[in-house]
A and B are shown apart, each in its own frame.
Chain A
Amino acid sequence: MADSNKWGMVVDIDRCTGCQGCVVACQAENNIPINLEEHFNQRRAIQWIRIERYWEGEYPNVKARFIPIMCQHCGNAPCEPVCPVYATYHNDEGMNVQVYNRCIGTRFCANGCPYHIRFFNFWEPEWPESLKNQLNPDVTVRSRGIMEKCSFCVQRIQRSTREAERDGVDLEDGDRGLNPACVNACATNSIIFGNFNDPNSEVSIIKEKEMKEGGRGYGLLENLGTDPNVIYLKKVDESVEVGHGH
């Protein structure tokens, strides 16, 4: 394992079934308020990870395509330089972090994000009485008026690295509950989490293999120069012999 960590993800679109399991897991893990129908109608629903569904082809040969989209933790993030109060910044583990206490809610970052994965708390979040006791104590409950977004489940990363340090061992893939909630919940293993600085991690191996010419890997909207830390593996073309994947 390398000295410093650079956390990242690989999302294999070919495996994604659009089951929304990751979305639910994320809501539960990160104390995200319940999105009611009205929130969706107002276009203010908060989903740190969401499944975008696209239709391909003409009826009757229509196919649904799914792509899970979460914060890309860009190496060159458009949201970071515009925050006047340093509520969002890049930490030394390659993550784009959000400090809720600093945020004053200018929403400049949300306008800058080309992936639209930054969410503003338009209303004070509310939970039904019965769900209040299941809030995750490791995660701040955000108040209204601030931005929030996917943190790569930073609370899990912190706990695992701390425990690994205490035990004097290197942190392996998925070790000590390292993986974010969406990764654990994914039934088809289409989301993989790991350390890009560790050459033996699964994400590094996939990056090595798929980001080459002819590989399936790509960064979302990478033409904008955002240098995302999430690698997407495109759908396998059925007309070509299946030789890729992992």
Chain B
Amino acid sequence: MQEHTQLSHKQINDDLLVDILTVPKWWLPAVAFLSLIVLTGLGAFFFMMYHGLGVTGLNRPVMWGFFIANFVFWIGISHAGIMISAILRLTQAEWRRPITRAAEVMTVFSLIAALHTPLMHVGRPWRVLYWIFPYDFSRGIWPNIRSPFVWDPSAVGTYLIASSLFVFVCLIPDLAILRDRVKNPIGKKIYAQLALGFRGTPRQWRLQIIAGILLSALVLPVFVSVHSIVSWDFAVLIGVEGWRSTIFAPYFIIGAIHSGVSAVAMLMALSVWLYGLDKYIKPDHFDAIARLLIVVATTWFFFFFLEWVYALYTLESPEIALRELQAFEWPYGPLFAIFVITSFVIPVPMWLFKRVRRSAALMFWTTILVNIGMWLERFLIVIPGLLRRTHMTFDWGTYHPSIIEILIVVETFAFVCLGMLLFAKVLPLIPLFDIKEGMVNRRLIKVGRRVIPATIREGLPHHYYQEKH
């Protein structure tokens, strides 16, 4: 089953840069369509800013709706980047190589998408600076560091800066290749500037590798902090029965990894189909990511189960009423059923079969299901949580998203797709140098009389190493 053909450097360059040097037929219509959706979403945002938040479906008990559910969803997707590139890099998982950059780039775009909605949904978006950079010395007001809304921008901002740096550091060798190969003089100049004079000297390689490892180590705390802080946006509110849970931070983190890694598997399938990269992303890679997903999904389900146990264990009537609303009442009941089925019940048993794990199509559809389910999970935490059926029945409410909210949520999805497409147009989505490094590591070299692999990695099957050609 293992089929590690050794490819020459020239072939790798040709394969992976073809989409940058030429324009595929579907590219322009796809970009035009996605841009249209993004522009519509932006139009909806300006409409909302002009007329006020009255144009949304928000109301008195439900002050946060689609926007915040969507925010949590995208922060969750962004956890793919750290999981794949930092943790798998530090644990030297060999299969990560072709997908690190796609995961990291998706992280950057999904973080920006995540920032869209909370910044748009405030009452006075033109004053958001006081919130994100609240050091307004002329007014003498310091930020309220007790508020999770002050922790949020710092955590998400750190994450955004770290992942952008990470993408950039890993791009430098490939930028140098592009500099040498792009014909267009303006493009050449831009790539030359970005490549920072990288010429492939041993010292430059060493620095690049050290920077990559340092960044992946430094970004690890962010792995834990970002989604914990997002979960505290909810968990600090003592008065909201469905939210005030101490298990929220780890529950959110593992949920984020679940949806993030699923999104990476989705991305892998898409790059096989759209860019014909099946020489680089092979059934082995799908197999590896599906195994990882089984573990992550099962852990997530355990936390999901615990959250319910802890809630019902209190035997407080508002808590039980909330759970009834979440799981049994229209329309949340059916949504809840869809959420549990799509995020766990269908995909995980399917991944147990090798045939499913090794099929790009099946992995694509199962991971799409996971992300539908995980979006619903966030929705079911935010909205029924606020609709809470408290003792004071007078304040029970309802929530229907307006067309404006739906347009802006759709916009975030189009924005991430558009960002990925544009990125893939100007920069290779699969790291060339990393693939080459993998090939070199697999070569057999002669030391004295013995023939040994160039680099020994633990846990790799023997046939992984191929004859040097």
Q: Does A78 contact B149, Cβ atoms closer than 8 Å? A: no
What total of A-B pairs shows CB separation below 8 Å? 136
Residues in chain B near residue A119, CB distance under 8 A: 60
Cα separation A110 to B148 with both chains bound (whole Å): 15
Residues in chain A near residue B238, CB distance under 8 A: 78, 112, 114, 224-226
From A6-14, A79-87, A164-172, give the one contacting chain B. A79-87
Residues in chain B near residue A45, CB distance under 8 A: 60
Q: Which of A85, A114, A121, A123 contacts B141 (CB 8 A)?
A: A85
Q: Does B150 contact A84, Cβ atoms closer than 8 Å? A: yes
From A101-109, A197-205, A232-240, give the one contacting chain B. A101-109
Residues in chain B near residue A146, CB distance under 8 A: 123-124
Q: Does B60 contact A44, Cβ atoms closer than 8 Å? A: yes
Closest residue to A51 on the B side, CB-wise? B394
Interface centre among B130, B142, B148, B393 (most CB of A within 10 A): B130
Q: Which of B131, B144, B390, B397 contacts A81 (CB 8 A)?
A: B144
| B:209-243 near A, CB below 8 Å | 233, 236-240
Q: Does B239 contact A113, Cβ atoms closer than 8 Å? A: yes
Closest residue to B399 on the A side, CB-wise? A43
| A:94-143 near B, CB below 8 Å | 102-108, 110-116, 119-124
Interface size class of A (residues with CB under 8 A): 35 or more
Q: Does A111 contact B59, Cβ atoms closer than 8 Å? A: no
Tell me the interface secondary structure of chain B in the complex: loop
Cα separation A187 to B148 with both chains bound (whole Å): 44
Residues in chain B near residue A63, CB distance under 8 A: none
Does B207 count as interface, using CB distance less than 8 angstroms?
Answer: no
Does B23 count as interface, using CB distance less than 8 angstroms?
Answer: no
Cα separation A227 to B179 with both chains bound (whole Å): 66
Q: Which of B122, B150, B233, B386 contacts A105 (CB 8 A)?
A: B122
Does A52 count as interface, using CB distance less than 8 angstroms?
Answer: yes
Residues in chain B near residue A147, CB distance under 8 A: 123
For residue B259, give the distance in angstroms from its CB to the closest CB of chain A.
Answer: 24
Does B127 count as interface, using CB distance less than 8 angstroms?
Answer: yes
For residue B313, give the distance in angstroms from its CB to the closest CB of chain A.
Answer: 17
Residues in chain B near residue A224, CB distance under 8 A: 238-239
Residues in chain B near residue A81, CB distance under 8 A: 144, 146-147, 236
Q: Which of B127, B142, B391 contacts A104 (CB 8 A)?
A: B127
Q: A44-B54, A111-B63 are in contact. Are A104 and B147 (CB under 8 A)?
A: no
**Between-chain CB contacts (< 8 Å), 28 pairs:** A43-B60, A43-B398, A44-B54, A45-B60, A54-B394, A81-B147, A82-B146, A85-B141, A85-B144, A86-B141, A86-B142, A104-B124, A107-B122, A108-B233, A110-B60, A111-B237, A112-B238, A112-B240, A114-B238, A114-B239, A120-B123, A121-B52, A121-B123, A123-B51, A123-B52, A145-B52, A145-B124, A221-B239
